[in-house]
Amino acid sequence: MNKLLSCCIILVMVLAAPPLFASPDEQENQPNIILILSDDAGYDDFGFQGNTVLKTPNIDTLASNGVRFTQGYVTDPTCAPSRAGLMTGRYQQKFGYQEINVPGYMSPNSKYLGDDMGLPTDQRTIADYMKERGYATAAYGKWHLGDADRYHPTKRGFDEFYGFRGGDRSYFSYGANNRLPHHDKRMERGFGKFEEPKEYLTDQLGAEASDFIIRHKDNPFFIYLAFNAPHTPMEATEEDLAQFPQLKGKRKTYAAMLLAMDRAIGNVLDTLKKQGLEDNTIVVFTNDNGGPTDKNASVNWPLAGTKSNHLEGGLRVPFVIKWPAKLPRGVDYNQPVSTMDLLPSFFSAAGGDASKLKSIDGKVLWPYLSGEVKEGPHKALFWKKDVRAAVRQGDWKLIRFADRPAELYNVKEDEGEQNNLADKYPQRVRSMFKEIFAWELTHERPLWMLTQKYEDYDISRMDRYRVPSKEPQDWKWVPRVTNSK
Ligand code: CA
């Protein structure tokens, strides 16, 4: 090939490639973005969700200054697949990520040391997209998308990382002795530099995010603040426990852990305010999957089900978004949305052309939240793990089980999913089954499969929480102005 021709080809490639960095003008208006995720929190367990005993004043203020989603969904009722969907804006089944913690693939006790399981490296993350828009990026807290080095956050678009690679760890220091756990539970700064937290971990994560804000206040930044609270182990400080004298046992510890998380989030929000960044910063608060009531005493009232099953209590999560410069304040959005929607929404807010994002299942939410588009962003939402699957279309939800006939619910009229209408509407059952089949044709074969033993556990847990817990005496749902049906 002659030199002139190869120069021309390179020039065309350069012109056709997306800009690596946004222009200075674009940077002027690019919002900062902070995505805050809690871990295994209950649907009911926040003031803005109606709880009057647990204390979450800072998250409540965040909610009252933004939009609350009353039908906000995750892509899976367990930690890692849900994060894979959130992080890629795609149904994770499309790249084979259906399962969580499959022994032999992601387990520190296995001979494989978790080397195989993780977010496949050919998948782009939110952080990759935000880097493309010129953002400084950081991840704090729980990763749980692969223990092996090749899956590390700093290799997946994040400039900075302070957190742990696995799915849970202590909220206190393991100490500096030689009994430190496997590296998936150890706190890590950047890549490969392990150091134990200096204070109660939840507080430290808030402090780390605040520090990043201060260091990057002059340029757009994206922070993924993934608390492990209130996931097990149930550990809280004496001071926080003392705030709940009326509670006992796990529920008391849970309340204290949430209080600490709220304080850490308050720290981040205060820093934004002090730096004058509040107006043009998007802050999202949501949770990765429904509360596992049996493990951490979380409450998903008024929803049935828990973490790891496809009832609403496993899939529907507390979800708020605040962007004072652009979004209405103190309103509810009542159409189904998904955590998959965050990636294209962030990319679009940063000046990216979301219509060019290929293979993304999430939708840009802004025109829906502003009221510009009246119908909801999704014709249907799907979930699947092994044989178990669910689809939501409009007000209807079909759940397919491994061990019993499918069930059909009108979740608008029956959000607790107690009145199975499958016998009454067989035609609807058939058509929704077909929707699931058509969606499954878009999947890759699962990269890892769970054994029947784990499936059985998930199903028995669903059966135990098949009826929503009794309405808590401390619960008071406050409806807000709505800008959708
Ligand atoms: Ca979780």
Within a domain: residue 9?
A: no
* Whether the predicted model's global pTM rises above the 0.75 cut: yes
Q: How far is the CA of 49 from the centre of ligand 1 (A)?
A: 19
Burial tier of 245 (Cβ tally within 10 Å: 0-12, 13-18, 19+): exposed
Within a domain: residue 75?
A: yes
Determine the pLDDT at residue 134. Answer: 97
Burial tier of 233 (Cβ tally within 10 Å: 0-12, 13-18, 19+): middle
CB-facing half-sphere around the CA of 420: CA atoms within 13 A:
14
Within a domain: residue 88?
A: yes
Q: How far is the CA of 220 from the centre of ligand 1 (A)?
A: 29
Q: How far is the CA of 120 from the centre of ligand 1 (A)?
A: 20
Q: How far is the CA of 145 from the centre of ligand 1 (A)?
A: 12
Asked if residue 254 lies in contact with residue 234, where contact means CB atoms within 8 angstroms, the answer is yes
Asked if residue 310 lies in contact with residue 388, where contact means CB atoms within 8 angstroms, the answer is yes
CA 419 to chain CA mean position, Å: 29
Q: How far is the CA of 86 from the centre of ligand 1 (A)?
A: 13
**Residue 268 CB contacts under 8 Å (≥ 6 apart), including other chains:** 34, 36, 206, 209, 210, 213, 225
Percent of the chain with pLDDT over 90: 79
Within a domain: residue 188?
A: yes
Lowest mean pLDDT among 121-135, 408-422, 451-465: 451-465
Q: How far is the CA of 447 from the centre of ligand 1 (A)?
A: 20
Q: How far is the CA of 39 from the centre of ligand 1 (A)?
A: 4
Q: How far is the CA of 339 from the centre of ligand 1 (A)?
A: 14
Percent of the chain with pLDDT over 70: 88
Q: How far is the CA of 378 from the centre of ligand 1 (A)?
A: 24
Q: How far is the CA of 73 from the centre of ligand 1 (A)?
A: 13
Within a domain: residue 292?
A: yes
- Give residue-wise pLDDT tens across range 219-257: 999 999 999 999 999 999 999 999 999 999 999 999 999
Q: How far is the CA of 353 from the centre of ligand 1 (A)?
A: 31
Q: How far is the CA of 314 from the centre of ligand 1 (A)?
A: 10
Task: In whole angstroms, give the CA distance from residue 27 to residue 70.
Answer: 33
Q: How far is the CA of 392 from the centre of ligand 1 (A)?
A: 22
Q: Pull the structure tokens for residue 474.
A: 């401390």
Within a domain: residue 357?
A: yes
Mean pLDDT of 168-184: 81
Q: Predicted confidence band at 327 (pLDDT cuts at 50, 70, 90)?
A: very high
Question: What's the helix, strand, coil split of the chain in %, to 5?
Answer: 35, 15, 50
Q: Which domain holds residue 122?
A: 26-369
Q: How do strand 160-164 and strand 32-38 relate by DSSP bridges?
A: unpaired
Number of residues assigned to the chain: 485
**SS3 assignment for 320-372:** EEECCCCCCCCEEECCCEEHHHHHHHHHHHCCCCHHHCCCCCCCCCHHHHCCC
Task: Work out the angle between the directed axes of helices 79-88 and 342-349 (0-180°, nearest 10).
Answer: 30
Q: How far is the CA of 142 from the centre of ligand 1 (A)?
A: 10
Which residue's entry shows tokens 């203020």? 61
Q: How far is the CA of 76 from the centre of ligand 1 (A)?
A: 10
Q: How far is the CA of 409 from the centre of ligand 1 (A)?
A: 25
Q: How far is the CA of 258 from the centre of ligand 1 (A)?
A: 14
Asked if residue 302 lies in contact with residue 343, where contact means CB atoms within 8 angstroms, the answer is no
Q: How far is CA 348 from CA 129, 186, 354, 363, 367, in A?
A: 10, 35, 6, 10, 11
Within a domain: residue 352?
A: yes
Q: How far is the CA of 228 from the centre of ligand 1 (A)?
A: 8
Beta bridge partner(s), residue 137: 222
Q: How far is the CA of 255 from the centre of ligand 1 (A)?
A: 17
Task: In whole angstroms, give the CA distance from residue 62 to residue 281.
Answer: 12
Q: How far is the CA of 300 from the centre of ligand 1 (A)?
A: 14
- Give residue-wise pLDDT tens across range 254-302: 999 999 999 999 999 999 999 999 999 999 999 999 999 999 999 999 9
Phi, psi values for residue 69, rounded to 5° = -90, 120
Determine the pLDDT at residue 58. Answer: 98
Mean pLDDT of 154-166: 97
Q: How far is the CA of 319 from the centre of ligand 1 (A)?
A: 15
Q: Residue 185: which CATH number?
A: 3.40.720.10
Residue 202's nearest CA partner among 226, 181, 178, 232 is 226
CB-facing half-sphere around the CA of 434: CA atoms within 13 A:
5
Per the structure, the count of domains in the chain is 1
Q: How far is the CA of 20 from the centre of ligand 1 (A)?
A: 34
Burial tier of 174 (Cβ tally within 10 Å: 0-12, 13-18, 19+): middle
Determine the pLDDT at residue 148. Answer: 87
Q: How far is the CA of 77 from the centre of ligand 1 (A)?
A: 8
Task: In whole angstroms, give the CA distance from residue 32 to residue 346.
Answer: 9
Q: How far is the CA of 45 from the centre of ligand 1 (A)?
A: 15
Q: How far is the CA of 441 from the centre of ligand 1 (A)?
A: 27
Residue 131's nearest CA partner among 139, 119, 122 is 139
Q: How far is the CA of 297 from the centre of ligand 1 (A)?
A: 14
Q: How far is the CA of 261 from the centre of ligand 1 (A)?
A: 15
Which residue's entry shows tokens 């608060």? 285
As a whole number, the mean pLDDT across the chain is 90
Determine the pLDDT at residue 11. Answer: 44
Asked if residue 113 lies in contact with residue 147, where contact means CB atoms within 8 angstroms, the answer is yes
User: In 3-state terms, what secondary structure has residue 393?
Assistant: strand
For residue 153, the 8-state DSSP code is: G
Q: How far is the CA of 295 from the centre of ligand 1 (A)?
A: 11
Determine the pLDDT at residue 13. Answer: 43
Q: How far is the CA of 231 from the centre of ligand 1 (A)?
A: 7
**485, pLDDT greater than 80:** no
Task: In whole angstroms, give the CA distance from residue 121 to residue 7.
Answer: 31
Q: How far is the CA of 3 from the centre of ligand 1 (A)?
A: 55
Asked if residue 258 lies in contact with residue 45, where contact means CB atoms within 8 angstroms, the answer is yes
Mean pLDDT of 85-100: 94
Q: How far is the CA of 79 from the centre of ligand 1 (A)?
A: 4
Within a domain: residue 62?
A: yes
Asked if residue 106 lies in contact with residue 113, where contact means CB atoms within 8 angstroms, the answer is no
Please list, residue by residue across 471-484, b when 16 or more beta carbons sit within 10 angstroms of its beta carbon and e when fewer do.
ebeebeeeebeebb
Asked if residue 194 lies in contact with residue 173, where contact means CB atoms within 8 angstroms, the answer is no
Q: How far is the CA of 292 from the centre of ligand 1 (A)?
A: 9
